[in-house]
Amino acid sequence: MKPLLFLAAHSAWNRRLTLGVTLLAVALSVTLLLGVERIRHAARDSFARSVAGTDLVVGARTSPVQLMLYAVFRIGEASNNIRWQSYRAIADNPAVAWSIPLSLGDSHHGFPVVGTSSAYFEHFHYGDAQPLSFTQGRPFADLFDAVVGGEVAERLAYHLGDRIVLNHGMGEVGLAEHADKPFTVVGILDRTGTPVDRSVHISLPAMEAIHLDWQGGAPLPGLAIPAEYVRKFDLTPKEITAVLVGLHSRAAVFKVQRQINTYAGEPLLAVLPGVALDQLWQVVGVAERTLLAVSAMVVVVGLSGLVAVLLASLGERRRELAILRSVGARPTDLFLLLCVEGLFVVLLGTLLGLALLALLGALLAPLAQAQLGLVIDARWISPDEIVLLAAVVGVGLIASLVPGYRAYRMSLADGLTPRV
């Protein structure tokens, strides 16, 4: 058998270009398959890490998924607002340690504007309970101060001291501008890989101030209150959009949730972020499962290429296989030879794919964390990935049976008879 393998190795070396291309195709397929699997897990972890340390998210009664979409991810609009008195009742609950009011509805060049309080910069956490930090500047202190997320500052080239004008309404193009009440950028947050990066933060009184001369989503005709006079008004908010709540003890979370959900003042909904995020992931999980299926199809295509190359090489190797038969090789030996050759290409391609995955992970992990919030840690192969690799090798072995069977059926005369 050793001389047989030696001759096979020489034959493979003579066909190194063709086998090399096939090897690269298998390696890229494995890299794509495992890359998608790791990104899928990283995306799910990042999804759950968008908000950390928050025990309850409270909003007007709606579905938990919709509440998480607009309160945490700033996607879509709220079905209704919460009265300020209701927020104060929640914040004054003895079981509540801190609360972050959020007021949404305006935008700036397509980025959502978030009206909030100083508690946002003190208590909002993401990832592994990481607090917000500033690249430059500080939290808002004056009425018309604004703090922008890292992505907003980068894409719009903002610096400290720049003046910005907010738009009324959500979307790329606002319905109207609050041009008479510009804001000054006083802080730029570090990138977090969460919706914070894509937000402009102002104080709740500021959100109230820019809407003093508005009613029903439109400016009041003939009424314009200059920015220098708005401070004379009571700027206590009348309504907010949502509340992030932290409790003294997580043991009280279900009790407080029940109290909020049965609040008599107005219909409210309190959800546990982890539970709601799981429901939300089930909605968007269809896309990641589809992507994984596409990656599996790429692997199948790569292995199909391996079968095609081995089958095509049989025509070129007719004489070689006939000579092997003439020196004593049995049909079973030729069958094993082709199977081993195919399995060797698959195994080598798998190892090359793992090496390529590790290299790409080391190079792109910092960029993925900074730009997309995906934490892709360098780690050993997980059990799920071992199952995928075993499936790839198994399918590769089965695919190698086809050319092996063709070689098994070839007779000595087939290789020595010239083709016309």
Cα(301)–Cα(245) distance, integer angstroms: 50
Q: Range with the lowest mean pLDDT among 67-76, 86-95, 234-243?
A: 67-76
Per-residue pLDDT averaged across 292-311, rounded?
73
- The total number of residues written for the chain in this structure: 420
Q: Taking 50 as the threshold, does the pLDDT of residue 134 lie above it?
A: yes
Mean residue pLDDT of the chain comes to 82
Assess whether pLDDT exceeds 80 at residue 107. yes
Could you tell me what percentage of the chain is helix, strand and coil, using 3-state DSSP and rounding each to the nearest 5?
Answer: 55, 15, 30
Per-residue confidence band for 91, with pLDDT thresholds at 50, 70 and 90: very high
Whether residue 258 is predicted with pLDDT greater than 70 in this model: the reply is: yes
Judged against a pLDDT cut of 60, whether residue 141 lies above it is answered with: yes
Helices (H) and strands (E) in the chain, counts: 13, 18
Cβ atoms of 161 and 171 within 8 Å: the answer is no
Cβ 361 vs Cβ 38: under 8 Å: yes
* Opening angle at CA 50, ends 44 and 53, nearest 5: 115
Residue-wise pLDDT for 3-51, tens only, equals 656 666 666 676 677 778 778 888 888 888 888 778 777 777 777 778 8
The predicted-structure confidence for 163-200, as pLDDT tens digits, reads as follows: 999 988 776 655 678 888 999 999 999 988 888 999 99
* Residue in 378, 379, 382, 376 with CA at minimum distance from that of residue 193: 376
| Amino acid 396: pLDDT | 78
The angle subtended at Cα 316 by Cα 310 and Cα 321, nearest 5°, is 85
pLDDT at 76 (0 to 100): 81
Strands 200-203 and 125-126, bridge-based pairing: unpaired
By mean pLDDT, which of 31-45, 185-199, 245-259, 346-360 is the weakest?
Answer: 31-45
pLDDT above 90 covers what percent of the chain?
33
Confidence (pLDDT) at 201: 97
The average pLDDT across 119-131 equals 90
Return the pLDDT at 296: 76
Residue found under tokens 């894509």: 198
Query: What is the C-alpha separation between 119 and 99, in angstroms, rounded?
Result: 7
pLDDT of residue 420: 45
